[in-house]
Structures are given as C-alpha cells and as structure tokens.
Amino acid sequence: MHDKLLQFQRNDVWTLVSRPEGEHIIGTKWIFRNKTDEEGNVIWNKARLVAQGYSQMEGVDYDETFALVARMESIRILLALACQLKFKFYQMDVKTAFLNGFLKEDIYVEQPKGFIDPHFPDHVPQESTLWVKASPQSLIRQKDSGRNVDPSLYRSMIGSLLYLTASRPDISYSIGVCARYQANPKESHMTALKRIIKYVKTTAEFGVWYSKDTSDVLARYSDADWAGNADDRKSTSGGCFLCG
C-alpha cells in the first residue's frame, strides 16, 4: 500500500485540497491480491487503490469511460509482419502506466482508508488522473423470458473468453453475441456460453499460426446479410483484413 501511494506521489497524481461545496466526492477502496507463479506459489502481495466509480451517473459526473489498451488486431498484424521481416520481440511491463494519463476535468476523491492526513482529515484529493469502471447497459433489446442467472459470474466468463480470443479468433463472433446480454443474462445465454467453453475444450490444439512462407500482401474480405439479427431484424455487415 505504501509503495502504491509512493507511485502516486512520484507521478503527481493528486493534491490534497479543502472539501469543495456542491461537488460529488468519489470514494476509494483498497483491493488486495496474491500474485502466484505457474505452480500456485504466492510470490508477492499486491495492493491496488480503486475509485468507486459506480457512485457516478452518466451525463452528470462523466460523459464516457475507456481504457487505452492495444487492439488485438494491431497485435496480430505486428506478429505477422515480425514473422515476415524476422523481427525480434521483447516483452516488458510498464508499472502504473495509467498514472501517466491526463484529464481536463476536476475530479475529487476521498482520502485512502488507513492513510488519512491527521492534520487535514476532512480534505479530499483532487485527481489529475482517474480510471472509472462503469457497467454500460446493453444497447440491444433483451430477451426477457427465462430464468435469471448470476450476472457477475456471467460477466466473468465473458471476460475470460474475450481474453482467449487473442489466440482463438474463431470464437470472437459467438462471444460477441453472448456479450450483448451481460446486463440481464438468462439461462439460455448461460447455456450458449457453456457450449462455447465445451467447444474450446475439445479444440485446445486450435490457434493462430504465423509462418515466414505466407504472403505479406494485405487482403480484405467483407460480407453482409439482410435482416440477420434475430432480435431486431437489422442487417449486419462486417469485414476483416488478413496479413501473413
């Protein structure tokens, strides 16, 4: 926890100010996690300070939320080109990369629990950098019939499978369809999700293969259907680029 707050201090993340009147103050919470190696042995204990962004209202406290991460499409193209041009890759980790971002808005958060300034206990930190986790509502009509399932478990399964699509693009479309129902998942959606997991289990040897003797020409394919969405009968079109 001390190490995390020291990183906040080094990056000049916030300053302690008097509690402003009429401003919404966001709470903070410590998250603890044991990091393990491939054999399950605990190698270090990690602390993370998060903002309780669920207390904010869209359109009132914020307009949009996003995480600046690399697109999987870019990573795949990079790997394909590296194979063609014989590049050598090195992997590295940038600690607290998100602390180097900038915001134009003024955001106020409560002092971290256990680290409240004894001289200014009622002050709040003014954030210059903040990530907020939001749960966007589904943009399509939900199938209301059927028994409800645990939405947290459903979202966790969706997240794990989305991570897997980095090397298994063959399940991308199916996961995308299931991800539409995260706001109010039903038993039928859970059944479809488990079916994808069974498919992955029986095709564990599938993956993405990059080889030097493939073509380095960028090719594009596109397709469209008419009223193919079973929920709203909207048409769907899409495309893909292949390299290597």
pLDDT in tens, 82-101: 888 888 888 877 777 667 66
Looking at the fold, whether 28 and 79 belong to one and the same domain comes out as yes
Residue where a domain stops, chosen among 97, 127, 157? 127
Q: Is residue 213 part of a domain?
A: no
Question: 24 and 50 in one domain?
Answer: yes
Nearest to 4 by CA among 41, 39, 24, 31: 31
The lowest-confidence range among 71-80, 111-120, 162-171 is: 71-80
**Residue 162 resides in a domain:** yes
- The pLDDT assigned to 68 comes to 66
Clarify whether residues 151 and 108 are in a common domain: no
104 and 175 together in one domain = no
Q: How many domains does the chain have?
A: 2
> Do 144 and 177 reside in the same domain of the chain?
yes
pLDDT class of 221 with cuts at 50, 70, 90? very high
* Alpha carbon separation from 238 to 219, 220, 229 (Å, rounded): 14, 11, 13
Which of the listed residues 127, 143, 173 is the one where a domain comes to its end? 127
How far apart (Å, rounded) are the C-alpha atoms in residues 18 and 239? Answer: 53
Burial class (CB in 10 A: 0-12, 13-18, 19+), 10: exposed
Least confident among 19-33, 90-104, 123-137, 173-187: 123-137
- The whole domain housing 44 covers 2-127
Do residues 50 and 15 both lie within one domain?
yes
pLDDT digits (tens, 9 = 90+) for 18-73: 988 888 888 888 999 898 888 888 888 888 888 887 777 777 767 777 666 777 77
Within-domain flag for 82:
yes
| 120, 19: one domain | yes
Q: What is the mean pLDDT of the chain?
A: 81
Q: Give residue 209's identity as a one-letter amino acid code.
A: W
